């Protein structure tokens, strides 16, 4: 293991496409800068993770509960007909879990958000406003 492997940091592609939201017990939560979909990404804060099988059972359970918290925060903050959850990692191998609020008729509905074309960044200030709402919800979670 090299020094670079031993310290958690979000993959540069994820970091470039998203903004820091909050550190939960296991994961760093980030929000994608894509106005088409209210979209969170959870990254377990441990270096070298790729598959869910790289986590322990209790860590997987914690990841699931943090995904549930994110679902509830999205539901309380934005219009939402369905939550989509996915762990793909075909492009960015670093283990990350997507939690996305979908609405009927959104830019990819009913297809998946992944591979649905380039992101459309939020207008200035709008991402910060969403982030504040979500942090308020997540910070208030038990």
12, 48, 79, 93: which one binds its own copies (CB under 8 A): 93
Q: How far apart are CA 34 and CA 120, in angstroms?
A: 5
Q: How far apart are CA 42 and CA 142, in angstroms?
A: 18
128: closest CA among 20, 11, 4, 50? 20
Compute CA distances 115 → 71, 135, 136, 139, whole Å: 21, 27, 30, 31
9, 15, 25, 64: which one binds its own copies (CB under 8 A): 64
Rule CB under 8 A: which of 23-62 touch its own copies? 51-53, 57, 60-61
Q: How many residues bind its own copies (CB under 8 A)?
A: 31
Q: Which CB atom, from 10 or from 106, has the smaller least distance to its own copies? A: 106
Rule CB under 8 A: which of 120-139 touch its own copies? none
| Positions in the binding site for its own copies (CB under 8 A) | 51-53, 57, 60-61, 63-65, 67-68, 71-72, 82-91, 93, 102, 109-112, 114-115
């Amino acid at each position: 293991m090299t020094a670079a492997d031993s310290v958690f940091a979000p993959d540069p592609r994820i970091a470039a496409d998203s903004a820091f939201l909050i550190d939960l017990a296991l994961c760093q939560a980030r929000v994608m800068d894509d106005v088409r979909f209210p979209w969170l990404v959870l990254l377990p804060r441990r270096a070298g993770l790729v598959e869910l099988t790289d986590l322990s059972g209790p860590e997987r359970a914690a990841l699931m509960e943090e995904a549930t918290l994110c679902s509830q925060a999205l539901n309380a903050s934005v219009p939402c007909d369905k939550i989509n959850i996915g762990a793909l990692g075909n492009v960015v191998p670093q283990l990350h879990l997507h939690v996305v609020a979908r609405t009927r008729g959104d830019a990819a509905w009913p297809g998946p958000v992944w591979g649905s074309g380039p992101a459309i960044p939020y207008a200035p200030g709008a991402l910060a406003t969403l982030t504040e709402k979500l942090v308020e919800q997540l910070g208030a979670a038990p």
